[in-house]
Structure 1
């Protein structure tokens, strides 16, 4: 019996060497838990992404303004250089060579008075061009200052965009992790970028009808941060495009749309089809479709859809474009 290990003791020893990973692994979250976590993450991301969209719009406008004024500057500069070269040529031809072929007989004509008149004309021509050059140089000096000022604005906008792009990349990394989790749980909706949508049959009329008809045609297309169509949308990209189809120009971001509508806000109790509905924090916006329904682009892992007012969630306020 010597050397034998009691069975109970042997089992106890064996247990000590069993890997503990399976016992320590966190239970896989349920679909509702994963969706709730993703929803919270998107709430956090909404402001950063909206700020990024605003910075991107600011950058595009600043770049367009800079390109325009820089183009004017280059054209004016070319004119100044042409005048300068003309004056140089005149001086060289008149005072350096001084032969008959260059002066056109001005100094060697048979009539002394005509000769003096010709010399005066040359001098007048030179003075006129000199004044033109001074005028152009004065104009281009102001234009250069304007260009440099616009360039500074453009550089600031570019830096702001770069900073926010880093933040957006961080958020997208987290959202990517959640997306992978939703796919693993079978709850990710990739959508169809070419979706034909559905037909709007609600009570809207006028330009609100045109806006909702457009929005309903986007149903089924995927949500994407920064999406402005035609294959994917974010919330404010969808509302902007829908109302553009109705002839109304909205700003790009949810915060800008909320500010734009400061004098157009309406009570939640008096909603009409076409009204913009904003979540608390003004990080999300959808369009009221009438009959207690809302069309919107919800969040990552979802598609443009029509939901009930209850399904849409809390509403901070409404704007009637």
Structure 2
């Protein structure tokens, strides 16, 4: 009989909570960047699709115009065939009174001008239609490329989300959130449009974070700030990167923050909104809920800058 060596206890032990948390931190950082890439790709797809749909509608109208002009030209051609060529105006001139002859000549000149105008209109509309079809084909290619990119980024994010969820459940810290959460009341120092934006954001507290979420039951970080400031009367772009770029002329020093200012992390993977009194409201990450946190405790040295909408 062959003796089996004893397996040291702990050889197959689960990773310690500290190691799991450290791995989760790394996953969260990766997810922040991937989610932003996904959001960017998704916005590119929406933009391209909107352009293509608009061009398709225009093409439909141009097709109708070309059909009408084609029918009019066909009618002119049939009429010319039945009545003889325009050079037969002499026959009209030498029948009847001089006044009738002059009237006939004027009518023929008008007919010739009308025919020429119809031909020019048909050629111009047909040319524009060809150009529009070429443009539509180019935009369709853009749309397909953007859609493929969205699919690729979504697949990567989904894998990260699955891994994050497993680790959070292992630590017992996964929060599903409540899509119907009534939130909490904002009682901070904000005023004007900033107060409206913060009242909206605080009303979302308790709802789940979901990447790509724009409400009403869940949000990601930039989806929350966009929706909040829309309530405040300001239209922000969709993603963290584009909101930071949009605010290039609206940057404010970190030592001069006011309630409602947008806060961005280094690397632009995450953002939130300053609520006043050292607090921030944000949609953190997978497995967490929209919440209000102490700014210093949460971000410390991770803060890149701020934008005032």
Superposition TM-score, scaled by structure 1 size: 0.83
RMSD of the alignment, in Å? 2.7
Matches of 2:97 and 2:23 in 1, distance apart? 99
Is 1:183 aligned with 2:169? yes
Match of 1:6 in 2: none
User: Alpha-carbon deviation of 1:229?
Assistant: 0.6
Runs of 4+ in 1 over 3 A off after TM superposition: 13-16, 20-24, 32-36, 110-120
Out of 114, 119, 123, which is 1:128 matched to? Answer: 114
User: Alpha-carbon deviation of 1:266?
Assistant: 1.3
Matches of 2:282 and 2:154 in 1, distance apart? 22
Matches of 2:153 and 2:42 in 1, distance apart? 13
- Deviation per residue, 1:56-104 (Å, 9 max, x gap): 2222222222322332232123212212212212322442388xxxxxx
Match of 1:148 in 2: 134
Matches of 2:112 and 2:68 in 1, distance apart? 14
- Deviation per residue, 1:262-285 (Å, 9 max, x gap): 111111111111111111111110
Match of 2:253 in 1: 267
Matches of 1:39 and 1:116 in 2, distance apart? 93
Are 1:192 and 1:221, in contact at CA under 8 Å, matched by a contact in 2? yes
- Deviation per residue, 1:36-73 (Å, 9 max, x gap): 42332121122232122122222222222232233223
Match of 1:85 in 2: 71
**Aligned to 1:286, what secondary structure does the other structure show?**
strand
Superposition TM-score, scaled by structure 2 size: 0.85
Structure 1 unpaired stretches of 5+: 1-9, 99-105
- Deviation per residue, 1:144-177 (Å, 9 max, x gap): 3245235414422431341343133123213202
Is 1:27 aligned with 2:14? yes
Out of 289, 292, 296, which is 2:282 matched to? Answer: 296
Go from structure 1 to structure 2 and tell me whether the alpha carbon gap of 1:294 and 1:33 turns closer, same or farther (over 3 Å shift): farther
Structure possessing the higher radius of gyration over alpha carbons = 1
Matches of 2:218 and 2:199 in 1, distance apart? 17
Are 2:48 and 2:146, in contact at CA under 8 Å, matched by a contact in 1? no
Is 1:257 aligned with 2:243? yes
Match of 2:87 in 1: none
Structure 2 unpaired stretches of 5+: 85-90
Count of residues paired in the alignment: 298
